[in-house]
Amino acid sequence: MQEADLLLYNIGQLLTMDHGNGPVRGREMGKLQVLHNAYVAVRDGRIAAVGENGELQNWSAGVRLNCEGKLVTPGLVDPHTHLVFGGSREHELALKQKGVPYLDILKQGGGILSTVRMTRRASEQELFEKASFHLDRMLAYGITTMEAKSGYGLDMETELKQLQVVQRLQAEHDMDIVSTFLGAHAIPEEYRDNPAPFLQQMKEMLPLIKEQGLAQFVDIFCETGVFSVSQSRDYLQAARELGFGIKIHADEIEPLGGAELAAELGAISADHLVGISEKGMQMLAERGVIACLLPGTTFYLGKPTYAPARKLIEAGAAVALSTDFNPGSSPTENLQFIMNLAALYLKMSPEEIWHAVTVNAAYAIGYGEEAGKIKAGRKADLVVWDAPNYLYIPYHYGVNHVHSVFKNGKRVFAKGASM
Ligand code: IZC
Ligand code: ZN
């Protein structure tokens, strides 16, 4: 008889995502192994075993949860969020309705710059409490591992404040958080006519951030009117030399060549890619840079064209999906809705979508060996879904399908319960 602390049994469909090594690329993304009538045993916060219900007599457990035929998957991974910020931007909705483009709002001192003003004004405690609220909501939607970027300070003091908030969130919440420094997110108003010294100032912060272990990745918004490809190259090379992993907001609004730069520099991911070139797709696939797609942003900005997910997959790239949670272009914590958008507008199959929000999303933030799979020895990060099968989540939109979320074997969210 084997002992477990927790036994989830009578699982109708279990997606372990445990096939192969590394990110899942191209056609492989379309193949999913499904265990039927399964159980998962958890001991000391980690997966002890996965098997079929027929073996249940071999197990005793402190807590047994009858899953009544439901779907169970790994905790979702959200690899691109702007979690920590002051205020909100609901007043910009009317401008959007009038058709004022996102980059024009930014040019007029709104958009990211309005969030910068509110983030500079907020205390560390206020930012912590606000981010905690959003983070808990993400957990309730089934996310157990995520990335969080700075980038609403655009000065040393506020960028450090944001990174320190992420550090505190990591320590005090049931969520694994990977931290990214996005000091190069916009050109602050005080440097509007002279951006070069601003980027230099952000570059000079890199050794300190490294020394204090405040971020694992460095990212830049490579976009018309923000940072050019050559500025991005210079900045990211400096980050790489210091040992940071590299990410790029690439080809989000205009096709500048950010994807090619991501491949050239060996970035871990290139994110957005709505305007990516054919060459960029080939290069990402060849260099194993993960294509992180954010269809919530395309949807929310009301754009007619989505990132070419099918072409990326055909080119052999590994695709991940994310909320891009932020107060401007994607105010949602709901990664399940992003799965619906991926089905409807990116034309991704349910099998591809599940890879994109688990194993590939984990690899996109350097967490592929820790998260995104249900496998003996890994952290017991699990979601029980109120759904009969894995097709159901990308299909039924606009609601939270989560029944329960387990983080390190502990139930951190249960539908209908106040935790
Ligand atoms: O606050 O608008 N695209 N950065 C680049 C964002 C969107 C976040 C924002
Ligand atoms: Zn972003």
Q: Does the beta carbon of 394 lie inside 6 Å of ligand 1?
A: no
Q: Does the beta carbon of 114 lie inside 6 Å of ligand 1?
A: no
Mean pLDDT in residue range 316-326? 98
Is pLDDT at 137 greater than 70 in this prediction? Answer: yes
pLDDT at 270: 98
Residues 362-380 pLDDT 10s: 999 999 999 999 999 999 9
Pair 12, 70: CB distance under 8 Å: yes
When mean pLDDT is compared across 196-205, 247-256, 343-352, 376-385, the lowest value belongs to 247-256
3-state secondary structure of 137: helix
Please, which residues have CB within 8 angstroms of residue 212's CB and are 6 or more apart in sequence?
none
Q: Does the beta carbon of 404 lie inside 6 Å of ligand 1?
A: no
Mean pLDDT of the chain: 97
pLDDT at 193: 83
At residue 197, what are phi and psi to the nearest 5 degrees? -65, -25
Residues 53-99 pLDDT 10s: 999 999 999 999 999 999 999 999 999 999 999 999 999 999 999 99
* DSSP H or E run through 382: strand 382-385
Please, which residues have CB within 8 angstroms of residue 352's CB and are 6 or more apart in sequence?
29, 30, 309, 313, 319, 342
pLDDT at 253: 84
Report the alpha-carbon distance of residue 219 to residue 235 in Å, rounded.
9
Please give the C-alpha separations between residue 337 and each of 32, 141, 350, 394, in angstroms, as whole numbers.
21, 10, 13, 8
Report the alpha-carbon distance of residue 213 to residue 104 in Å, rounded.
36
* CA-nearest residue, atom 5 of ligand 1: 221
Q: How confident is the model at residue 103 (pLDDT cuts 50, 70, 90)?
A: very high
At residue 228, what are phi and psi to the nearest 5 degrees? -80, 170
Pair 246, 218: CB distance under 8 Å: yes
pLDDT at 400: 98
The two tokens of residue 398 are: 């606009």
pLDDT at 254: 83
Residues 219-236 pLDDT 10s: 999 999 899 999 999 999
Report the alpha-carbon distance of residue 190 to residue 90 in Å, rounded.
25
Please, which residues have CB within 8 angstroms of residue 289's CB and are 6 or more apart in sequence?
259, 262, 263, 266, 267, 268, 269, 270, 283, 317
Is pLDDT at 309 greater than 90 in this prediction? Answer: yes
Q: Does the beta carbon of 334 lie inside 6 Å of ligand 1?
A: no
Which atom of ligand 1 is the closest one to the Cα of 112?
1
The two tokens of residue 211 are: 């020394």
Ligand 1 centroid–CA 28 distance in Å is: 32
Residues 140-197 pLDDT 10s: 999 999 999 999 999 999 999 999 999 999 999 999 999 999 999 999 999 988 889 9
Pair 356, 341: CB distance under 8 Å: no
pLDDT at 418: 55
Q: Does the beta carbon of 220 lie inside 6 Å of ligand 1?
A: no
Ligand 1 pocket test, candidate residues 88, 326, 332, most atoms within 8 A of CB: 326
Ligand 2 centroid–CA 47 distance in Å is: 33
* CA-nearest residue, atom 2 of ligand 1: 328
Pair 7, 50: CB distance under 8 Å: no
Q: Which residues have CB less than 5 Å away from ligand 2 (the ion)?
A: 324
Instruction: Note the pTM of the prediction, 2 decimals.
Output: 0.98
3-state secondary structure of 23: coil
Report the alpha-carbon distance of residue 260 to residue 214 in Å, rounded.
28
Is pLDDT at 101 greater than 60 in this prediction? Answer: yes
Q: Percent of the chain having pLDDT more than 70? A: 100
Helix/strand number for the chain, H first, E second: 15, 16
Mean pLDDT in residue range 291-301? 97
Q: How confident is the model at residue 417 (pLDDT cuts 50, 70, 90)?
A: confident
Report the alpha-carbon distance of residue 128 to residue 124 in Å, rounded.
6
Mean pLDDT in residue range 33-44? 97
